[in-house]
Chain A
Amino acid sequence: MAKITRRTFVGVMAASTTALSMPSIAFGALPRVVVIGGGAGGATAAKYIAKDSKGAVDVTLVEASKRYYTCFFSNLYLGDFRNYGSIGHNYYGLAVNHGVNMVHEWASSVNSAEKKVYLGSGATVSYDKLVISPGIDLKFNSVNGYSPEAQSIMPHAWKSGTQVQLLKNQVKGMKKGGTFVMVPPPNPYRCPPGPYERISMIAHQFKKTNPTAKIVVLDPKNKFSKQGLFMEGWQKHYPGMIEWISADTHGGIKKINTSTMEFETDLDTFKADAASVIPAQQAGRIAMNAGVNKGDWCPIVPASMQSQADENIYVLGDASIAKSMPKSGFSANSQAKVAANHIRGSLTGSKVFAPRFANTCWSLVATNDGIKVGANYDAKPDKINKTSGFISKTGEDSNLRKATYEESIGWYSGITSDMFS
């Protein structure tokens, strides 16, 4: 690194104030990392690169929202186990504690040849290494009759924030004894147990205030994550309320009509009083724009999370093909630490350790009835390889289920502190 005299230091400071429009060469010796997306992957990566490099790397996090509502635990908000404010987080900790430059704008495009990110305002920010962690985009037209306009009538609520508030209002406002229809997404999608935890939390709401209501689940799949555990829980806590219908049984959702609230299948036409439709998913648009996708998702190098298409770009979380890891906040956080270690090593020469990945997904079925599934992973040349795992068992005693729920509360506190402070 160039020796910093008082004069060059002032020069660097002056350049930093105009960081967004200046090419990276103007910043002198500090290597630059830009992170797009401030969720479990991006916020964690930005924090760890900044924290561990102790000022030797300039880190900019581009995230449109000033307050980030986590998708994980939004189901617990639906079930009244959390208030809305408690799943919202800001980025002051990253800026103040670790010196991350926060840019609250949309990243509109990436020029990977020039190593530049273009922002919604028209400004550009240059990088030496780019981390893309944009989460998912929804493929609205994957369900015939669903559309961006339809999301206000049948909320997907698969990105957190106002969609989840809307869904909760519709659940609470549904007529007495009415039918709620839920369409989960096809594989692969964000948070495999998530739709089924959502069904549990909506059933929990109905049990309290609308006990004769019904929930019909029109699944495009024939099986789902933690199926035995959820089915057992639904029978125990909400007997007769939830009807889960597999793809083979209903023969496919032919069309939905948001005016009549009808769902047409081979088996029958189902009429809803309220509904949630979660369409198929793909990597966030900016990943497509950067050209690091192959089809709907982005292939990565398992040992580092580098894009297979560009060694200066890393793709984290839901947007990546991190097989065999599920698309979860925990996975993204784990991948971010592997990428951060690798990025810092390549920019500053710091030690790069062998990659280690892990994931655990907790779900709440009813009050004090928590279940979990988890696994360890290592990096093989062609995939992130599962090395061991566990899953809750059916018939577990209530004390263990309560402890599992309490553990999930601890995890939420832990991961959000890890991401944002």
Chain B
Amino acid sequence: MKSKFVFFSIIILLLFSNKILADDKALAGADFEYGQHLSGECVTCHNSTGLGQGIPKITGMKTAVFIKKILAYKTKEKDNAVMQMVADRLGEEEINSLALYLSKTK
């Protein structure tokens, strides 16, 4: 009985740690505090209530969605001169830190 419990615990732990590893890999260099600091640049325009006409809310956005959007501005697939300029100077660590912070912020 006891060995069965240990066995399942190890399996669950492995699954869980794999999940963590997968997320870590996806968000290399992500740092919550750095993301919070960088987000100061976003909130000059992006209202956290989402009530601003013309500019969408970005807090609470899933990390993958945020990263995809920023990369589309960076490669200029998506149009918008301001966002292309913002994305232009964001490196991987910065994008991932922002993604992490914004995903965990209301």
Contact = CB atoms under 8 A, between A and B. Distances in A.
A414 B39 CA distance: 13
Interface in B76-98: 80-82, 84-86, 88-89
A334 interface: yes
A417 B49 CA distance: 9
Interface residues of A, number: 35
Interface in B43-67: 43-49, 51-55
A388 B85 contact: yes
B89 A376 contact: yes
A420 B69 CA distance: 29
B82 A407 contact: yes
Given A341-B37, A372-B82, A414 B88 contact: no
A410 B88 contact: no
Contact of B47 (A374, A387, A413): A413
Contact of B85 (A330, A375, A418): A375
B52 A413 contact: yes
Mostly, the A contact residues are helix
Contacts of A389: 85
A415 interface: yes
B32 to A, nearest CB: 12
Interface residues of B, number: 27
Most buried by B among A351, A353, A405, A417: A417
A376 B47 contact: no
A244 B85 CA distance: 32
Nearest to A356: B41
A407 B54 contact: yes
Interface in A360-393: 360, 372, 374-376, 387-390, 392
B44 A333 contact: yes
B53 A413 contact: yes
Contact of B40 (A48, A390, A405): A48
B53 to A, nearest CB: 5
9 closest residue pairs by CB, A with B: A410-B55, A406-B54, A413-B52, A410-B54, A410-B52, A390-B81, A337-B40, A414-B45, A407-B54
Given A374-B85, A414-B52, 12 more contacts: A48-B40, A52-B36, A337-B41, A341-B37, A358-B44, A360-B82, A372-B81, A389-B85, A411-B45, A411-B54, A413-B47, A413-B55
Interface of B: 33-34, 36-38, 40-41, 43-49, 51-55, 80-82, 84-86, 88-89
Interface of A: 48, 52, 330, 333-334, 337, 341, 351, 353, 356, 358, 360, 372, 374-376, 387-390, 392, 403, 405-415, 417-418
